[in-house]
Structure 1
Amino acid sequence: MSLPASVRLVEVGPRDGLQNEARQIDTATKIELIARLSSAGLRHIEAASFVSPRWVPQMADGAQVMAGLSRQQGVTYAALTPNLQGLEAALAAGVDEVAVFSAASESFTQKNINCSIAESIERFVPVIERAQEAGIQVRGYVSTVLGCPYQGEIAPEQVAAVSRDLYQLGCYEISLGDTLGCGTPIAAKRMLEAVQREVPLTHLAAHFHNTYGQALANLYALLEEGLSIIDSSVAGLGGCPYAKGASGNVATEDVVYLLHGLGIHTGVDLAQLAATGRWISTQLQRPLASQVGLALTTDTTQGA
């Protein structure tokens, strides 16, 4: 299959990217990050998470973040809502879309949300029904699609089964997450091949971490198969608290550079995005994890 003409990027930095930061980030910084990302041309932004502050204290100000946004027309502001209580809070805050999450690994699901895969999906039934009542679309995340820290390799058919269940429950889009960042291009293609037998390709997204430096190669492999939705995180922010050694999401800057180099439309201003990545890394007092961001924001006029 030929490469897609355009790709929709789902920017997860303000939620998935920030949620594991040890230092508490103030609400104003989160709001400014989202504003900068939308100004750079990103049209689908995961802005908040409505989960128990006991489990994810960094996301406790989700309602304040949503209230403080100067919303841009045409931008979807989404939030993670693992249960009915979280969904109601998200609806009250005026989110445009919500997401639920499961995994392709039984062990990971037990460690992450203390239940089986089947139980996790069953829990989402009232959440999805209530969201549909409210006219809000629901996105489904499937973690550990290319490997699990507890089970090791995951069968593509298992990923396909979980994806099918979420899709049939009413999730309009399924995001396939390489939580460990351990996948390789051939494994990614085999996984996608199995999943798209159960869920149409146009309803599938890739959410890849870059732990082993393979995220861009894996994304290119799926672009070759026609995948046209990619999750990414500005400055490569993020990681998984339940997966030891899992580094951040693939950097949005790196993905955009790849896509533009392939002639694929994104609608994103790369220079502005790179500046945003540099800015948020400075705010967090951490090194910039985007190679493209480093190249574009480093003063190259100074000799070695």
Structure 2
Amino acid sequence: MQQAGVPARIEVVEVGPSDGLRHERTAIAAPDRVELVERALAAGLRRIEVAAFDADSREPERVLAALPRRDGVRYLALVLDGTGLDRAAAAGVDEVNVVVAATDGFADRERGSSTGQDLARWADLAARAHRGGPRPVATIAVAFGCPVEGEVSAEHVAEVARRIADAGPAEIVLADTAGAGVPTQVVRLLERVREEAPGVPVRCHFHNTRNTGYANAATAFLEGVAALDASIGGIGGSATRPGFGGTIATEDLAYLLTGMGVHTGLDADELAATGTWLGERLHREVPAMLGRTR
């Protein structure tokens, strides 16, 4: 039953086939990646991050060539530079995601860059995408706390969002890369970002490192975000930092939202079965909890 004061629906963006699998120790071959996307579609997901064009491997092209094309389905990909953008466009990607680190320390450790350099790269890629390429989306990494520099103020993240908004993003994603955020922080950060980037849809990406991911997701939803990221099985995190939790699990998020009377269009049982299937291929039990109750 729909509860008073609760939004009627939310879009869930599946990031497991890309962001999730790229941080797993066990490599998953292209056919299994394609099957994962097909299972996600069967469970009702319609916006799926399927690839990362961040290396010379041609696997993203092989995966995208094998994916079904359906009305209402959008495929997303991570890109790091102009070459990646060109490859993504040629492969038929609908949206490209460009990451901007909120702190210089994280940008330097991950890519040998700085926040300023990330912003310049975003502006260049967004301009190119606006000239007939895929829709450009910007993700602000470590927006809720940084493993290198510690706390990150809402004011600083809002200023980064303002500079991102200058280049016309289709969406801004606030990512809790370290899983450090709490619900009150979610409220404050959304408030400040909306002030500095009015009219730009906001999506949130939460990790469950400290068991706050689902509380943060529910808070962001109640605060009216356009969409939430999730990963089937709750896979992801960081292969080089084993203590970092994965992205919140799609099946667990679907269960939570459905219980709140929210329309997601997702089949939680089908998602849970897919999480179990994925764990078998990764040779480990996935973090998601719903599949353990079935």
| TM-score range for the pair, normalised by the shorter chain length | over 0.9
Partner of 2:33: 30
Q: Distance in 2 between matches of 1:95 and 1:217?
A: 32
Q: Is the Cα–Cα contact under 8 Å of residues 24 and 235 in structure 2 kept in the other structure?
A: no
Q: Is the Cα–Cα contact under 8 Å of residues 109 and 117 in structure 1 kept in the other structure?
A: yes
Q: Is the Cα–Cα contact under 8 Å of residues 254 and 291 in structure 1 kept in the other structure?
A: yes
Q: Distance in 1 between matches of 2:175 and 2:31?
A: 29
Partner of 1:126: 124
Q: What is the RMSD computed on CA atoms of the aligned residues?
A: 1.7
Change (3 A) 1:2 1:109: farther
Residues 76-91 of structure 1 correspond to what in structure 2 (within 5 A)? 76-91=74-89
Q: Distance in 1 between matches of 2:187 and 2:122?
A: 28
SS at match of 2:151: coil
Which of 19, 23, 36 is the equivalent residue of 1:20? 23
Partner of 2:293: 295
Change (3 A) 1:102 1:41: same
Q: Is the Cα–Cα contact under 8 Å of residues 170 and 200 in structure 2 kept in the other structure?
A: no
Change (3 A) 1:40 1:210: same
The superposition leaves residues 65-117 of structure 1 with CA deviations (integer Å, 9 ceiling, x where unpaired) of 00011222211011111110001111111111111001211211111121111
Partner of 1:48: 51
1:232 Cα deviation after fit: 0.6
Q: Which amino acid aligns with 1:43?
A: R
1:154 Cα deviation after fit: 0.5
Partner of 2:182: 184
Q: Distance in 2 between matches of 1:140 and 1:2?
A: 30
Residues 20-169 of structure 1 correspond to what in structure 2 (within 5 A)? 20-53=23-56, 60-169=58-167
Q: Is the Cα–Cα contact under 8 Å of residues 3 and 226 in structure 1 kept in the other structure?
A: no
SS at match of 2:77: strand
| Runs of 4 or more above 6 Å deviation | none
The superposition leaves residues 212-262 of structure 1 with CA deviations (integer Å, 9 ceiling, x where unpaired) of 011111112222222231001000010135656211000011111111011
Q: Which amino acid aligns with 2:125?
A: V
Q: Distance in 2 between matches of 1:104 and 1:132?
A: 24
Q: Which amino acid aligns with 1:6?
A: R
| Unaligned ranges ≥5, structure 1 | 54-58, 297-304
Which of 209, 214, 230 is the equivalent residue of 1:216? 214
SS at match of 1:169: coil
Q: Which amino acid aligns with 1:220?
A: A
Partner of 2:252: 254
Partner of 1:3: 6
1:3 Cα deviation after fit: 2.6
Q: Is the Cα–Cα contact under 8 Å of residues 9 and 263 in structure 2 kept in the other structure?
A: yes
Q: Distance in 2 between matches of 1:202 and 1:270?
A: 30
Q: Distance in 2 between matches of 1:202 and 1:117?
A: 20
1:263 Cα deviation after fit: 0.9
Q: Is the Cα–Cα contact under 8 Å of residues 9 and 229 in structure 1 kept in the other structure?
A: yes
Q: Distance in 1 between matches of 2:116 and 2:12?
A: 29
1:124 Cα deviation after fit: 2.2
Q: Distance in 2 between matches of 1:125 and 1:94?
A: 22
Q: Distance in 1 between matches of 2:237 and 2:201?
A: 24
Change (3 A) 1:225 1:201: farther
TM-score normalized with structure 2 length: 0.94
How many matched pairs? Answer: 291
Q: Distance in 1 between matches of 2:133 and 2:55?
A: 24
Change (3 A) 1:145 1:244: farther
